[in-house]
């Protein structure tokens, strides 16, 4: 076991930021595997149909986690939890602490295709469903809170056109990076707090934002004392403008900050930057008046570009643009006015470029993650972003009622034993609609659970059709209960 752990330290950690895999027929790209990670390929050898689904992800084997107190808890996804427990550059923990039950079973079985097959009939997460059945249903076999009966969480899709019609927020800000150049820019877009008010449930505690290359970043709704976590609600501290010719890339070949934004015209060193509506966590659409260029995946599987949407946190602890960590003697204060400071607020690294998914946490009871393959590069191409999770399910409920009604109407001859049963079922759907419009959600649940489900069971001949209708009703019940 110790040998296996050493192998895991050397190799499995390479997958920590790996795989929210999004394929694109237009680009013809292979799956994103982080720095030689091999376990995803092993899994897909056994289950090729899982490519591009939510199981094609480091969350298959790695768990999330939380820290804090009962009064203030921050929940982290698998990527950030691995880094929080194990470190970013210098490992300081036990990678075993980040594995979920399926990941541990896979490791103990030998980390191979044979290992995957050998644990198929095992119920790793002890939720009553064996691994192979959960995988077939695209449910996490290592997460006891996910199983084949869970319904896809409600979601909303926003287009660039829709977002541009919302109240726009602009802010001049410093993007301070660890390894790349720092820069000032004026970004415009929609404040995340304002956007989420349009759809978010009161139970929400934070959001996780994904890029199509697998990067994800958690942002709590409320301010958090941890300097690594940037909050959604409220404004950030006012910042100052810091200028020095040594740092200026245009004046010094060894410079590390770009001062090219037109919004800086007339500004002086140490001057307060006035943003009339404050600094906010921003879903940015434009940089210095120009729409953000769409992100692309380079030959080294690295994300280039930042658009069409980028989530940008201002600095929680405003500071000057410090020297790059990679520069010679970066922390030498005798060489640089602003030497590299490991504890400085490097907010650029906590932004999310080419954001395509915003997950509002926690997921409502009875629901599970969307199929992330539907929100990858095609969303970059279509200039769209999807928000799912703890969001108002009413639009989804309406769509699902329409789909169920259409199914019953178009396939009535093959579904029902007699026309009277079909008419009765359609009347029940109408009653459900009336209960929802009157906000009598519990009444709607009862109509679905008893009347409509009983009609389906007693009057339908076609086995497959009955299964489809039963599942549709089950989805509606779960989504309606969110509103109770």
* pLDDT tens digit at each of 484 positions of the chain: 333 333 333 333 333 333 322 333 223 233 344 455 688 889 999 999 998 788 887 788 888 766 665 444 455 556 656 666 666 555 566 767 788 999 999 999 999 999 999 999 999 999 999 999 999 988 899 999 889 999 999 999 999 999 999 999 999 999 999 999 999 999 999 999 999 998 999 999 999 998 887 678 899 999 998 888 999 999 999 999 999 999 999 999 999 999 999 999 999 999 999 999 999 999 999 999 999 999 987 766 578 899 999 999 999 999 999 999 999 899 999 999 999 999 999 999 999 999 999 999 999 999 988 866 566 788 999 999 999 999 999 999 999 999 999 999 887 677 888 888 889 999 999 999 999 999 999 999 999 999 999 999 988 877 788 888 999 999 999 999 999 8
Q: Phi and psi for 432 in degrees, rounded to 5?
A: -65, -40
The answer to whether the beta carbons of residues 17 and 213 sit under 8 Å apart is: no
- Say if residue 222 is in the same domain as residue 371: yes
Q: Phi and psi for 60 in degrees, rounded to 5?
A: -60, -40
Predicted local distance difference test score (pLDDT) of residue 9: 30
Q: What is the pTM of this model?
A: 0.77
- Say if residue 202 is in the same domain as residue 327: yes
- Say if residue 361 is in the same domain as residue 223: yes
- Say if residue 381 is in the same domain as residue 411: no
The single-letter DSSP state of residue 450 is I
Predicted local distance difference test score (pLDDT) of residue 108: 95
What's the CA gap between 276 and 475, in Å, rounded? 45
Give the domain range for residue 296: 159-389
Q: How far is CA 127 from the centre of its chain?
A: 24
- Say if residue 241 is in the same domain as residue 349: yes
- Map residue 192 onto helix, strand or coil: helix
Cβ neighbours for 387, distance < 8 A, ≥ 6 positions apart:
155, 156, 157, 158, 195, 196, 199, 358, 360
The answer to whether the beta carbons of residues 234 and 282 sit under 8 Å apart is: no
396: burial class by Cβ within 10 Å (0-12, 13-18, 19+)?
buried
What are residue 206's DSSP bridge partners?
220, 361
- Say if residue 320 is in the same domain as residue 183: yes
Q: Kindly report each contact of residues 100-103 with a partner whose C-beta sits within 8 Å and lies 24 or more positions away, as own/partner.
A: 100/61, 100/62, 100/63, 100/124, 100/125, 100/140, 100/142, 100/143, 101/125, 101/126, 101/142, 102/60, 102/61, 102/131, 102/140, 102/141, 102/142, 103/60, 103/61, 103/62, 103/63, 103/142
Predicted local distance difference test score (pLDDT) of residue 464: 82
Could you give the number of structural domains in the chain? 3
Residue 153 belongs to a domain = no
- Say if residue 115 is in the same domain as residue 205: no
Q: Phi and psi for 254 in degrees, rounded to 5?
A: -100, 15
The answer to whether the beta carbons of residues 322 and 176 sit under 8 Å apart is: yes
Residue 436 belongs to a domain = yes
Residue 311 belongs to a domain = yes
What's the CA gap between 357 and 376, in Å, rounded? 8
- Say if residue 109 is in the same domain as residue 170: no
The single residue listed with the structure tokens 């993650």 is: 369
The answer to whether the beta carbons of residues 19 and 58 sit under 8 Å apart is: yes
Question: Of 89, 82, 88, which Cα lies nearest the Cα of 103?
Answer: 82
Structure tokens at 349: 């690294």
- Say if residue 234 is in the same domain as residue 129: no
Query: Where is the domain boundary, 148, 180, 208?
Result: 148
Question: Of 54, 138, 134, 137, which Cα lies nearest the Cα of 101?
Answer: 134
- Say if residue 53 is in the same domain as residue 199: no
Question: What Cα–Cα distance (Å) separates residue 3 from each residue in 90, 108, 120, 430, 443?
Answer: 20, 11, 24, 63, 58
Cβ neighbours for 153, distance < 8 A, ≥ 6 positions apart:
363, 364, 367, 368, 369, 370, 388, 389, 390, 391
- Say if residue 333 is in the same domain as residue 433: no
CB atoms within 10 A of CB 75: 18
Q: What is the CA radius of gyration of the chain?
A: 25
Residue 429 belongs to a domain = yes
Torsion region of 388: left, alpha or beta (phi above 0 gives left; psi -120 to 50 gives alpha): beta
Q: Kindly report each contact of residues 406-415 with a partner whose C-beta sits within 8 Å and lies 24 or more positions away, as own/partner.
A: 407/465, 407/468, 407/469, 407/472, 408/469, 411/462, 411/465, 414/461, 414/462, 414/465, 415/460, 415/461, 415/462, 415/465, 415/466, 415/469
Angle at alpha carbon of residue 471, lines to 465 and 475, rounded to 5°: 145
Helices (H), 120-270: 131-136, 160-164, 192-197
Instruction: Tell how many helices (H) and how many strands (E) occur in the chain.
Output: 15, 19
Query: Where is the domain boundary, 148, 172, 202?
Result: 148
């Amino acid at each position: 076991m110790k040998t296996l752990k050493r192998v895991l330290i050397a190799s499995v950690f390479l997958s920590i930021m790996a795989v929210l895999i999004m394929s694109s027929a237009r680009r013809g790209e292979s799956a994103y595997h982080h720095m030689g990670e091999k376990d995803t390929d092993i899994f897909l050898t056994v289950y090729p149909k899982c490519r591009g689904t939510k199981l094609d992800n480091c969350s298959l084997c790695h768990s999330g986690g939380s820290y804090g107190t009962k009064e203030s808890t921050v929940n982290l996804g698998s990527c950030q939890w691995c880094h929080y427990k194990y470190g970013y550059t210098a490992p300081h923990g036990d990678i075993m602490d980040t594995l979920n039950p399926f990941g541990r079973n896979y490791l103990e079985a030998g980390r191979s295709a044979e290992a995957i097959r050998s644990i198929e009939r095992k119920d790793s997460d002890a939720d009553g469903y064996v691994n192979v059945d959960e995988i077939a249903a695209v449910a996490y076999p290592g997460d006891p809170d996910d199983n084949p009966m869970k319904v896809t969480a409600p979601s909303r899709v926003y287009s660039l056109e829709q977002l541009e019609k919302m109240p726009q927020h602009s802010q001049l800000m410093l993007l301070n990076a660890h390894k790349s150049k720092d820069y000032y820019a004026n970004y415009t877009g929609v404040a995340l707090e304002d956007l989420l008010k349009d759809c978010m449930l009161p139970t929400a505690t934070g959001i996780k934002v994904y890029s199509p290359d697998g990067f994800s970043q958690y942002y709590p709704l409320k301010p958090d004392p941890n300097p690594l976590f940037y909050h959604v609600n409220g404004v950030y501290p006012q910042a100052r403008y810091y200028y020095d010719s040594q740092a200026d890339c245009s004046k010094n070949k060894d410079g590390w900050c770009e001062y090219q934004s037109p919004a800086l015209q007339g500004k002086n060193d140490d001057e307060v930057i006035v943003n009339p509506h404050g600094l906010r966590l921003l879903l940015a659409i434009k940089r210095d008046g120009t729409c953000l260029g769409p992100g692309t995946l380079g030959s080294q599987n690295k994300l280039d570009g930042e658009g069409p949407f980028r989530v940008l946190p201002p600095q929680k602890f405003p500071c000057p643009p410090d020297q790059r960590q990679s520069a010679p003697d970066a922390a030498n204060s005798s060489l640089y006015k602003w030497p590299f400071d490991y504890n400085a607020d490097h907010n650029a690294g906590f932004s999310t470029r080419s954001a395509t998914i915003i997950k509002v946490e926690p997921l409502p009871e009875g629901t599970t993650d969307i199929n992330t393959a539907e929100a990858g590069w095609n969303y970059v191409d279509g200039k769209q972003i999807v928000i799912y999770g703890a969001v108002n399910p009413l639009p989804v409920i309406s769509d699902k009622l329409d789909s169920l009604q259409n199914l019953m109407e178009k396939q009535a001859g093959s579904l029902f034993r007699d026309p009277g049963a079909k008419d009765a079922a359609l009347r029940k759907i109408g009653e459900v609609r009336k209960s929802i419009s009157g906000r009598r959600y519990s009444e709607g649940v009862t109509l679905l659970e008893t009347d409509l489900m009983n009609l389906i069971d007693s009057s339908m001949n076609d086995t497959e059709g009955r299964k489809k209708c039963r599942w549709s009703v089950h989805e509606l019940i779960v989504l309606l209960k969110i509103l109770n």
